Amino acid sequence: MARKLPKVDVVIIGVGWAGGIIASELAKKGLKVVGLERGKERKTEDYFMVHDELRYALRYGMMQDLSKETITFRGSEKIRALPMRQYGSFLLGDGLGGSGVHWNGQTFRFLPYDFEIYSKTVERYGKNKIPAGMMLQDWGITYDQMEPYYDKFEKLTGISGEENPLAGKRSSKYPTPPMKKSPPLKMFEEAAKKLKLHPYMMPSANLSESYTNPDGIARSACQYCGYCERFGCEYGAKADPVVTVIPVANKTGNFEIRTHSNVRRILKTGNKVTGVMYTDVTTGEEIEQPADIVVLTSYVFNNIRLLLMSDVGKPYDPGSGKGVIGKNYAYQVIKGNAVGFFDNKEFNTFAGAGSLGMVLDDYNGDNFDHSKLDFIHGGMVSLSHTGLRPIQNNPVPGGKPTWGKEFKEKSVKYANRFLSVGAQGSSMPFKHHFLDLDPSYKDAYGDPLIRITFDFENQDRNLAKFLASKCAAVLKEMGADHIDTMKDLGPYDITTYQSTHNTGGVIMGSDPGTSAVNNYLQMWDFDNLFVVGASAFPHNSGYNPTDTVGALSYRAVEGILKYHDKGGQVV
């Protein structure tokens, strides 16, 4: 029998960006908050002198142990799902701070179009533009309503950036100026402008200069070491929860972090949740933590899995289209890219930062006319100078051998003579893309794994091909001597890395029949349960999700405080 602890005001499940923000803000207001994190404690000192590509980038030193818990995957319901035994398409972070510690720091606001995507698409093109089976819906909130929360998150993290000419309006400038413009970024900028496009510096959580945020947290500027993605930042220059919100929550005296605490069930009575049951990973003991309010802020897959295992919310049924938990799973279309090889130019590609880059949004959202195109939405096109580490980056021009003497010669020649212009395409939800519990495979505790059913659609293939052609056009203008580009997007392949931008499954909206949470991330069925994160996205945009997750976390704080004061559904 589980050992029962004294009740607290709020228990938070997962202490990454969402959990850290909510813990900090609620603790500052005097609420007693417990944060349960199944991974280990983290601090910046852990990363001193460990720029180790093998340990972190290839052996996934900061990621979840797949031998104890993983996901299963299938391309359609006709295929048996199998477990992901080694990392490929995406990476699942583990430990305090979650994926917010090993991210690159690319911090984009979604476009106004995204939040009203169904209404704006139908208004401009008519309902026939939306293909059969695409589960497109508005978010139940507008960009203008989201803007103040974006502003809060960007000031918390000190985002370094400049105005995006094709984005929604801002209430204030970025807190810090854009990062340094490397020679390849200048080449991209000049080429884009010659093509009548609108380039701008990528918004970055890698600080361009020293910065003190509104909570008084001071951080140093980025050193451009090139070790961001899959690595922790020993300088604290890359914003993460461990160096921003968690210290603030701790300082209040109202917040307690319990690491190595694997939450396995949300407890409930009637239409109220009463707390959680978790297992102490170090001892195996089961513990019950009662709470007036439960906030689920884990990674997308675990949010959905925990709700389904706890019988909280109605599971999605792809046959009837009814139910909401597991609905509208979406990913990202990353394959539309091009690589340019330069015979007479060399670049210092080993240096950089996770979000050092130049971007253009001329082909993102509905910034261009889709009337004669066979897809909706789009994606950003960018050249990122992230720091190319030697083990993972060894390309040669297409048509050349990939082994042997000639391969070695070309590898040496082009090691510092190639640049990649990539596209990050949006992902639309379809009726037959969803998440549920696998009936066959279980984790180390005997609980079912989450199962993904997903494949690329014609929407994705057409979008990827379009974006790839735009990437190649920019590289041609940059003067590349040889350009390799994607010709066709095949089936979704879970074995090669693409993006850790999984979204959906506990989506937000204005209708309880088609969404799981309202626009404060409060569950319709259980008003003292809030589910926060990218699981709330009804579709995925052509951007990284973190800025929107951060903004929604501040929105959720507002809703939690309203509920704490008055109870009931927050409006």
Catalytic sites, residue numbers: 501
3-state helix, strand, coil in the chain (%, to 5): 25, 25, 50
| Beta-carbon contacts of residue 489 (< 8 Å; ≥ 6 apart) | 333, 335, 336, 456, 460, 461, 464, 465
Rounded Cα gap, residues 419 and 413, in angstroms: 14
In this structure, are residues 370 and 131 in contact, taking their beta carbons and an 8 Å threshold?
Answer: no
Q: What b/e readout covers 140-165, taking b as 16+ CB neighbours within 10 angstroms?
A: bbebeebbebbbbbbbbbbbbbeebe
Cα separation values, 202 from 146, 222, 383, Å? 20, 15, 9
The SS3 of residue 555 is: helix
Query: Which residue has 């600080």 as its token pair?
Result: 207
Beta bridge pairs of residue 74: 453
In this structure, are residues 512 and 226 in contact, taking their beta carbons and an 8 Å threshold?
Answer: no
From the list 103, 160, 59, 61, the residue with the least C-alpha distance to 354 is 103
Rounded Cα gap, residues 437 and 71, in angstroms: 10
The DSSP secondary structure of 465-517, one letter per residue, reads HHHHHHHHHHHHHHT-SEEEE-----S--TTS------EEES-B-S-TTT-SB
Beta-strand pair 71-74/82-83: antiparallel
